[in-house]
Structure 1
Amino acid sequence: MALSHEDFARVELGFLPTPIDELPRLSAALGVDVRMKRDDYTGFGGGGNKVRKLEYLLAEARAAGAEVLITTGGHQSNHARMVAAAARRFGLEAVLVLRGNAPQQREGNLLLDELFGATIEYLDPQAYFEQVEPCMQAHAERAREQGKVPFIIPLGGATPLGALGYVRAVAELAEQYARMQWSPPDIVLAPAGSGGTLAGLIVGARLYWPQTKVIGVSVSRDAAWFQSRIAAMASDCAELLEQPLRFAAEEIQVEDGYVGPGYGLPSDDGVEAIHRLAKDEGILLDPVYTGKAMSALIDLCAKGRIAQGQQVLFVHCGGSPALYPFSERLLEGRRQ
């Protein structure tokens, strides 16, 4: 008999279930019925999608007797910020290894990391990919030398166990849609930064909404990298659940034409999407993840790749603290 996401240990961090908003003005403009899952409202530690993953990963860490949580991410990493908050929630230390040189000012998520009292090490962005794993292992060894138990959480909490957070999210969505007497969406669209959210959405959709297509929008790497990574993670997540589901890379749809100048850097279309949603719907997106994903949704509709009349659910993964370090870029050419 297959397992449920409820069969796995989980700590309660999020303010769940999060609401679903209808977006009437955007829908009318695009000719598509757009709704938004408001996982920017998960609440804990500033909110965002990582809360759902950390509920499972923190349960694993606590079971292992962890005293020091170690993780990594970009300068404005939502994941790192929430690991720092979760560590404090359970009386643990947090070590964050971040991609980017030490800034002169702490803004956005970096400010929150400091407020949570995390130890932060900055890595040169060009050397990051070679140095990050040895650096996290060095921090783990240092903790062991001090008689403490370290626990490394991978980038974005992107593990098969962490992905259960978004299997659970689809179960939550299915209940909400049924209660509202809505038919399942044709498409679920979400940003993809490390792949864990998308892996969970794909497994969850197969279990609860088998006719729904899941589309990821890359904010960092090319589609092929994500397809291979997410297919493996989704397959391993299904295996945890003892479900006979396996996924091939070619089954995973990831759009990689919306990254812009690079991960963590605003794109022109992403900035336009941020302004559009703020003015049309009173919703804040961010320049690292959701702004780029929304620009993809708008463009896919304009090109007819999302057909007129289809129902789309956009997963808002949070990240609004990352707006503030980019104030000059966001207001460029717009001041009166």
Structure 2
Amino acid sequence: MMKPFPNRVPMANLPTRIEMLNRFSQELGVSVFIKRDDLTGMEFSGNKIRKLEYSVGEAVNMGADTLITCGGLQSNHCRATAAVAVKLGLRCCLVLRNGEPEPPADGNYFIDKILGADVRIIDAESYRSRRSEIMEEIAEEYNAAGHKAYIIPEGASNGIGTFGYLTCMQEIMEQEKLLGVTFDTIIDAVGSGGTFAGLCLANRLYGLNKRIAGVNVCDDAEFFQKRVSEIVEEAGRYLDEPVEIRPEEVEILDGYVGRGYALSQKEELDFIRDFARKEGVILDPVYTGKCLYGFTKEFEKGRFSDSKNILFIHTGGLFGLFPARDQFTF
């Protein structure tokens, strides 16, 4: 019998539904479905809450009263962490990366402020080279004031967090039975690696033999192949027997970072607009827009010619759309 998963704090609205993308499927000539993880909640909508249920579960078990985490100014993960902290009566400190020390409150950052998070803005270089050290310093600050801080890494993308998408895969397996469909291919955006690592780990752990393909929205394929392998190894410490996924076994569809993380190109924004008008589903410019755009381009090249039933994970990000409003053309 498999060792029980770590404790979690149930917060998300689960299970999230799976829908057929009818017109998109007709265009591509293959069955494409969408798992609506953008509907896990309102304040904590998106994929991050699944991972946070496990991270925060560990924090609560350790007696923590303060959550500290980090991300970009429009981080979905940070916004979700702030909302979860309020729900559970915890304090929350967010270390956000931005070029200006006092950015305008918009999108996710606006919601962070409404929720009362302790926000610390740092520049890109400090974030790249010292974010872990900075969070440790903040933890010491809170601990010295009589609190107990728990640090959640970027995106909750670590061993404990990735269990959120192990349980998501269990959900998908049950929905396959109800729908009478087996998804041979799953597509996911890759930004910090935890969601994708959880899907890959579940695929291996349950012997599903699905094709799990990720579109990276920052860095490159080599970086995420290594990172996903590391996260899976870390998650294995919570299991009876560690599971190994070698970097070369991780499929990343590289080449769609575009101008960079959270920076958009016209063709990506046009794709988001056109997809919304086609399916009534709103993608975001940081993750899901780039992901489905990249998948579509790779599909057109014949990379998924053997796929019959494809499932796209909609990881949310709606609030991040609003700061990009002026970049769209209508």
Give the TM bin, normalised by the shorter chain. Answer: over 0.9
2 CA distance for matches of 1:266 and 1:22?
Answer: 27
In structure 1, the partner of 2:325 is: 327
Report the CA distance between 1:89 and its aligned residue: 0.8
Matches of 1:325 and 1:102 in 2, distance apart?
17
Listed one character per residue, the Cα deviations across residues 117-146 of structure 1 (whole Å, up to 9, x for unaligned) are: 001111112332123122111111110110
Question: Using the alignment, how far apart are the partners of 2:265 and 2:81 within structure 1?
Answer: 27
* Identical-pair percentage: 38
Matched residue type, 2:137: A
Unaligned runs of 5+ in 1: none
Q: 1:84 to 1:193 in 2, by over 3 A?
A: same
Q: In the alignment, which residue of structure 1 is the partner of 2:21?
A: 23
Q: Under a length normalisation based on structure 1, what TM-score does the superposition of the two structures give? A: 0.94
Aligned-residue offset at 1:46: 3.8
Map of 2:57 onto structure 1:
59
Q: Could you tell me which residue of structure 1 aligns to residue 277 of structure 2? A: 279
Partner of 2:3: 3
Q: Which residue of 1 aligns with 2:196?
A: 198
| Matching residue within 236, 247, 250 for 1:249 | 247
Q: Within the alignment, does 1:258 sit opposite 2:256 as a pair?
A: yes
Measured in 2, the distance between the counterparts of 1:272 and 1:298 equals: 13
Hey, what does 1:301 align to over in structure 2? Answer: 299
Residues 135-179 of structure 1: per-residue CA shift (max 9 Å, x gap): 111111110110110110000000111100000000000001111
Matching residue's letter, 2:216: S
Determine the C-alpha separation between the residues in 1 that align with 2:4 and 2:264.
Answer: 38
Change in Cα spacing, 1:207 to 1:330, as seen in structure 2 (3 Å) is same
The number of equivalent residue pairs is: 329
Contact 1:70 1:96 in 2 (8 A): yes
Question: Are the aligned partners of 1:66 and 1:149 in contact in 2 as well (CA < 8 Å)?
Answer: yes
Alignment CA distance shift 1:28-1:114 (3 Å): same
Q: For structure 1, which segment, 84-93 or 40-49, has the greater mean C-alpha deviation from structure 2 after superposition?
A: 40-49
Q: TM-score, normalised by structure 2?
A: 0.96
1:108 maps to what in 2?
107
Q: Which residues in structure 2 correspond to 1:20-169 (within 5 Å)?
A: 20-43=18-41, 45-100=43-98, 101-169=100-168
1:160-204 CA-to-partner distances (Å, cap 9, x unmatched) read 111000000000000011111112x12101001110001100011
CA RMSD of aligned residues (A): 1.4
**Is the 2:44–2:84 contact (alpha carbons within 8 Å) kept by the matching residues of 1?**
no
Residue 142 of structure 2 aligns to a residue in which SS? Answer: helix
Q: After TM superposition, where is structure 1 displaced by more than 4 Å over at least 4 residues in a row?
A: none
Deviation at 1:205, TM superposition (A): 1.7
CA distance in 2, matches of 1:215, 1:84: 30
Give the Cα–Cα distance (whole angstroms) in 2 for the partners of residues 133 and 239 of structure 1.
22
1 CA distance for matches of 2:178 and 2:274? 30
Are the counterparts in 1 of residues 25 and 32 from structure 2 also a CA contact under 8 Å?
yes
Determine the C-alpha separation between the residues in 2 that align with 1:49 and 1:147. 32
Query: Does the 8 A contact of 2:187 with 2:212 survive in 1?
Result: yes
Verify the 8 A CA contact 1:174 1:209 in the aligned structure 2. Answer: no
Look up the SS of the partner of 2:140 in the other structure. helix
State the one-letter code of the partner of 2:309.
Q
Distance 1:255 1:110 in 2: 29
Q: 1:309 to 1:251 in 2, by over 3 A?
A: closer
State whether structure 2 residue 314 is matched by structure 1 residue 316.
yes
1:9 aligned counterpart, secondary structure: coil
Query: CA deviation digits over 1:266-315, x for unaligned, max 9?
Result: 13332122112201000000000000001111101111101176211000
Measured after TM superposition, the shift of residue 19 of structure 1 is 0.2
- What secondary structure, in the 3-state scheme, does the structure 2 residue paired with 1:127 have? helix
SS in 2 for 1:171: helix
Q: For the structure 1 residues 134 and 146, does the alpha-carbon distance in structure 2 shift closer, same or farther, using more than 3 Å as the test?
A: same
